[in-house]
Amino acid sequence: MTKALQLARALVPELSPSLHKGQAGRLGVVGGSKDYTGAPFFSAMAAMRIGVDLAHIICEPKAGDVIKTYAPDLIVHRVLDQNAPIEEIHQSVDDVVSRLHVLVVGPGLGRDDHMQACAGAAISIAKKRDIGLVIDADGLWFVNNNIDAIKGYKKAILTPNVMEMKRLCEKLSINPDEMKEEDIASKVSELLGGVTVLEKGGVDRITNGSKTLTVDASGSLKRCGGQGDILSGAAGTLLAWGSVYAKGIGSDKDIKVPHEDIPLYAAYGASTFTRECSRLTFEEKGRSMITQDMLKNLIQAGSFIEYATFSNNYYDIDAQGVKIIKDKHQNLQPTFVFLSPPSIDSLARRLVKRGSETEESLRSRLDAAKGEMEYAQTGAFDYVIVNDDIEQAYEKLRKVALGEGTESDILPDNRIA
């Protein structure tokens, strides 16, 4: 797993009974006009399937009537009424945005004057509320005509495709013919004052002007409409989680993400996630693939944010995660290392001494450990390292990480004396 992907994963909040509804992400989508109802649905439902707690759609009334029939899980606000004064719409949007961690602006928005004015109001409100912004599709049309509305707002992610990138370059007086292709997105970000740009293409480029990441993983060969909406929902989800992370929820992980780089790694994770989802869907559906098919593959595609659950607690990738990767993501070709306690008895003593377990949770932890050791005995792991001496175990793990290899240890008996 790349360092960038580890940093993206670090934004994901661990599920916990101590969290309340909404603490694992509240997202809004501004979009949905009389002609376009699918795009905001795909964006918001992707966010729900990936893992936000709540997803709102702020849309035109007739679009809202249709979107409400798609899924009862989404909260639909029919407030972008073309017959209402913009001041009234501004207040209605602000009432919703005040509850959110992130706002996605653009899916199915349309380019008429009224909906573009609504986009401007939404962007202004999000900036005032100091929340994350993802701007896609017709939201980028607004930005292209109102560059100053987004310039310097570093909590924003723009997701331009080839034509949208071309328009931005023209607006910013960038001549792509005079630059290396890999430097164009970085220049756009620089001139926008450090806004994160996710340039979609054969290779996705993600940059905040000072750092640039690329994603070239295989995706779908079928370019059906709506995949960009899935990406906007994924980017919004990770950016919402980044907001939660910045407030201290989940920030106690070993890997630390600089707060100023949260949009960068959120966009990187979203790109990786969406490409994997589209690849899995294309493998299944081929030429007949539509975006609706991607929704059910969002869980499979999310192996990079998997957390296995034991005793109602959540942990990083373990034997259960290994099974998921071996079954569904063989193309990743990772090296699997199993870290084993010297014995189940020694593990039990460690846990009792720590004092963090109830009698029931201790029994569950030991049962889970025995199951993992049984799985390791099947030869599923490339290396087994027994942690009976922390310095020796570290040295062996270091050699494996550096590609030097090491002699695998013998698994201990997993029976309790």
Give pLDDT, residue 323.
Answer: 72
| CA dist., res. 366 & res. 345, Å (int) | 9
Structurally, what CATH architecture does the domain formed by 3-302 represent?
3-Layer(aba) Sandwich (3.40)
pLDDT digits (tens, 9 = 90+) for 36-67: 999 999 999 999 999 999 999 999 999 999 99
Domain with CATH 3.40.50.300 in the chain: 316-402
Q: Could you tell me if 336 and 382 are in contact, meaning their C-beta atoms sit under 8 angstroms apart? A: yes
Annotated binding-site members for ATP: 200-204, 219-228
Residue 242: closest CA among 302, 306, 156: 156
Please tell me which residue, 209 or 335, carries the higher pLDDT value.
209
Average pLDDT in the 70-99 region?
96
Environment class of 34 (CB within 10 Å of its CB; exposed 0-12, middle 13-18, buried 19+): middle
Residues flagged as binding site = 108, 161-167, 200-204, 219-229
153-175 confidence digits (pLDDT tens): 999 999 999 999 999 999 999 99
- Asked if 104 and 136 touch (Cβ cutoff 8 Å), the reply is yes
* The pLDDT of residue 300: 65
Measuring CA to CA, which residue among 106, 93, 104 is closest to residue 139?
A: 106
pTM value is 0.75
Domain(s) labelled CATH 3.40.1190.20 in the chain stretch across: 3-302
Helix (H, G, I), strand (E, B) or coil at 102: strand
Cβ count within 10 A of residue 122: 31
Which of 69-73, 93-97, 196-200, 370-374 shows the lowest per-residue confidence on average (mean pLDDT)? 370-374
Mean pLDDT of 360-378: 83
State whether residue 406 is helix, strand or coil. coil
Tens digits of residue pLDDT in 203-216 = 999 999 999 999 99
Annotated binding site for (6S)-NADPHX: 108, 161-167, 229
pLDDT exceeds 80 at position 314: no
Task: Give the mean pLDDT of 131-160.
Answer: 98
Q: Give the homologous superfamily in CATH for domain 316-402.
A: P-loop containing nucleotide triphosphate hydrolases (3.40.50.300)
Q: How far apart are CA 354 and CA 358, in angstroms?
A: 11
Distance CA 105, CA 113 (A): 15
217 CB neighbour count, 10 Å cutoff: 17
